[in-house]
Structure 1
Amino acid sequence: MPTENLKIVAEAGHELTGSLEMPTGLVRGAALFAHCFTCTKQSKAAVSVARALAAEGIATLRFDFTGLGGSEGDFGRAGFAVDVSDLVAAAEHLLERFSHPILLVGHSLGGAAVLAAAREIGLERVAAIATIGAPSDVPHVLHNIDGDIEAIRTNGEGAVKIGGREFCLGRDFIEKVENIDLLKEVESLRKPLLFLHSPTDAIVGIEHAGALFQSAKHPKSFVSLEGADHLLLKEEDAEFAARVIAGWAHRYLPLRDDWPMPEVGIVARTGHGKFGTEVHTGSHQFVADEPKSYGGDDTGPTPYDLLNASLGTCTAMTMKMYADRKGWPLEGVSVHVTHERKHEEVCDHVEAMVEGKQMQSLNRAISMRGDALDDTQRAKLMEIADKCPVHRTLEGVLHVHTQET
């Protein structure tokens, strides 16, 4: 996916680093991802979810909270309230650029943060909210801190370890973590909510998901991440969560009104990758691209793949239609089409070339399934393959007329 690196100015004036994952095609909406406690925007969950959403046409911003990753500021004196203000600043950046209500997604404490930040962002500007392994009470994170919390309250600051990493926490951090009633916030949201949680989560127990779900009002959904650990360290767990969120988000980030849906033909419109191009028919849309070896993002078939596909699909459809009409026992057709650019180098009829034109060919290999088909039926179906409409168009007299509109 095309990735834009950007800077966001936090409420306190320092810079937050972010990575915006853009669809290779057109944008149907935008999402903001909040990473887990002491993680960064490079966590497996952050990257997997952001890229899965981008593949669905949802531009997704993942960023580092204050004092983490590449962001400026002092993590040890920030606390939960600062995380919320960071989210508001990042959301403002997205809303200014994309103008439509956005999807909020948060992992672990980042999940609690998006739930708490939604009201400050503006509920009318939030399309929906999804969380992964989120705690139902924010002070729960203090249990995962290896250090003397009471000494920090007394002395004002102290050294601790979180996830094996050393930090210096201040009294403000502790107090800002404690002063939030998350369940009350969730109860008042009344926005579409999706809670994903592992029943074997050893850091934030499944009871937290139950409490959040019970407090939330409909529409709300719960998905069990069976077998996953809290950080989604297994690639398949992170990708599963990403696919679920991306599929769920479709309902709340509908197609934009300005997308081209032509009554006839297709419309191809450039997207955000080097070659990524959105293709629209009257009722469908998909992305065409080039492979990474050609500098593309490999997020869709190439133009020549589509040319081969037009011949292959039309051939299969025509053969099946003919067999159905005749009542013949054709069980299925497989058509393999390849494109050859310099056909004159391997063929023996170069005299047929038009001067100044390169001779190319489409090579088609057809396999029919159906043991009850006799030889006569098979021969006739091969003859019918050459009469499919796309075949006739490609071998007929074809003009391409171009005009600027």
Structure 2
Amino acid sequence: MAPSPSIPNLQEIRRKCVTVHNSHGEKLVGVLHETNSLELVIICHGFKSSKDRIPMVNLAAAYEKEGISAFRFDFAGNGESEGSFQYGNYRREADDLRAIVEHFHKEERFIAAIVGHSKGGNVVLLYASNYKDVQTVINISGRFNLERGIEHRLGRDFKEKIKHNGFIDVRNRKGRFKYRVTEESLMDRLTTDTRGSCQSITNNCRVLTVHGSMDEMVPVEDAMEFAKNVSNHKLQIIEGADHEFTLHQDELSSVVVAFVKAGLGGRNYMAMPSESCKRTSGCIHSRF
């Protein structure tokens, strides 16, 4: 990787696998983009996705280029992590994120931001409503109205089907089994209070919502609802972008990196490396 003119020693950046156990004893697998910065950004993927999908990889690389360490990981039941996949699971994924945050707190890292794409956006907001230890939250393409989007996957009569059978098996276009939705997991989604969570986020927590104007999976109107219900909120609509910002990766990265850098500027901890960082040669601190 070519060194940045503003951050020396970027050739020392390394990527390594890190596993963290959640509260259920399951291994959560992630990739740490280590720049030896005190600051760390945690990146969360969306529904039935993984740490290795765009935009997770590109976002981590964008922070890495700025000298900010980043960690992207798989929720339980997804990607390389242990556990079984569950539809819904918003609260449990927020608990997974808690395990990640606590792990890096023990490593004496400052969590500069938690970033979530799609369902991950809902998870980081839910986390911020329950815990007050992260002051910058970025919601990318999150869904405000969780009652929408279910018919697309489960069919219009999903309520009747799941009441009758106790579950619905979701299959692909070729009829192959993808995953099972139980009544319990469906109710987990339907009883997750997005509005209440947003309104519970304290004013000293900065929240950015980024949404594509051409998102066909989650309508851009949902982004407007986040703006109405989070007190300290900034809204950024990227014109022409789809749900994964397929053709707008650079623009997305620019927006989310700038938001984190703005939150880091001028903080006193910037000049105070942690003990673990002091012991590391070639330690890099973000310069903003």
Same fold flag (TM > 0.5) = yes
Shift of residue 194 of structure 1? 0.7
Instruction: Find the partner of 1:84 among 71, 77, 94.
Output: 94
Shift of residue 154 of structure 1? 3.3
Shift of residue 112 of structure 1? 0.7
1:138 matched to which residue of 2?
A: 146
Native 8 Å contact 1:145 1:161 kept in 2: no
1:126 matched to which residue of 2?
A: 134
Native 8 Å contact 1:144 1:162 kept in 2: no
Q: Distance in 2 between matches of 1:176 and 1:73?
A: 17
Instruction: Find the partner of 1:244 among 249, 255, 258.
Output: 255
Q: Distance in 2 between matches of 1:73 and 1:63?
A: 14
Shift of residue 94 of structure 1? 2.1
1:395 matched to which residue of 2?
A: none
1:9 matched to which residue of 2?
A: 21
Q: Distance in 1 between matches of 2:207 and 2:138?
A: 6
Alpha carbons of structure 1 residues 114 and 38: separation in structure 2 relative to 1, 3 Å:
same
Q: Distance in 1 between matches of 2:87 and 2:141?
A: 24
Q: What amino acid does structure 2 have at the position aligned with 1:115?
A: L
Instruction: Find the partner of 1:103 among 109, 113, 122.
Output: 113
Q: What amino acid does structure 2 have at the position aligned with 1:171?
A: E
Native 8 Å contact 1:109 1:141 kept in 2: no
Instruction: Find the partner of 1:166 among 175, 178, 187.
Output: 178
1:206 matched to which residue of 2?
A: 220
Alpha carbons of structure 1 residues 139 and 161: separation in structure 2 relative to 1, 3 Å:
farther
Which structure 2 residues correspond to residues 185-204 of structure 1 after superposition, within 5 A? 185-189=197-201, 190=203, 191-204=205-218
SS of aligned partner of 2:227: helix
Alpha carbons of structure 1 residues 54 and 209: separation in structure 2 relative to 1, 3 Å:
same
Instruction: Find the partner of 2:63 among 32, 41, 53.
Output: 53
1:154 matched to which residue of 2?
A: 164
Q: Distance in 2 between matches of 1:88 and 1:139?
A: 25
Shift of residue 240 of structure 1? 1.7
SS of aligned partner of 1:76: coil
Normalising by structure 1, what TM-score? 0.59
- Once superposed, which parts of structure 1, at least 4 consecutive aligned residues long, lie more than 4 Å away? 162-165
1:232 matched to which residue of 2?
A: 245
Give the unaligned 5+ runs of structure 2: 1-12, 274-280
Higher radius of gyration, 1 or 2: 1
Q: Distance in 2 between matches of 1:285 and 1:130?
A: 21
SS of aligned partner of 2:263: coil
Native 8 Å contact 1:146 1:161 kept in 2: no
Shift of residue 109 of structure 1? 0.9
Instruction: Find the partner of 1:72 among 47, 60, 82.
Output: 82
Shift of residue 224 of structure 1? 1.5
Q: What amino acid does structure 1 have at the position aligned with 2:86?
A: G
Native 8 Å contact 1:33 1:105 kept in 2: yes
Alpha carbons of structure 1 residues 7 and 146: separation in structure 2 relative to 1, 3 Å:
same
Q: Deviations over 1:248-277 (max 9, x none)?
A: 111222461226xxxxxxxxx614xxxxxx
Of structures 1 and 2, the one scoring higher in RCO (CA 8 A, sep 6+) is 2
Shift of residue 8 of structure 1? 1.4
SS of aligned partner of 1:270: coil
Shift of residue 48 of structure 1? 0.7
Q: Distance in 1 between matches of 2:54 and 2:170?
A: 24
After superposition, the CA RMSD in angstroms is 2.4
Shift of residue 69 of structure 1? 0.7
Identity of aligned residues (%): 24
Shift of residue 95 of structure 1? 2.0
Q: Distance in 2 between matches of 1:21 and 1:195?
A: 24
Q: Distance in 2 between matches of 1:127 and 1:160?
A: 38
Q: Distance in 2 between matches of 1:163 and 1:184?
A: 36
1:362 matched to which residue of 2?
A: none
Q: Distance in 1 between matches of 2:218 and 2:87?
A: 23
2:192 matched to which residue of 1?
A: 180
Shift of residue 157 of structure 1? 2.3
| Aligned: 1:216 with 2:230 | yes
Q: Distance in 2 between matches of 1:162 and 1:98?
A: 44
Q: Distance in 2 between matches of 1:162 and 1:226?
A: 31
How many residues align structurally? 260
SS of aligned partner of 2:55: helix
Alpha carbons of structure 1 residues 78 and 7: separation in structure 2 relative to 1, 3 Å:
farther
Q: Deviations over 1:165-207 (max 9, x none)?
A: 7112222210111112112211221211111011111110010
SS of aligned partner of 1:138: coil
Q: Distance in 1 between matches of 2:103 and 2:146?
A: 26
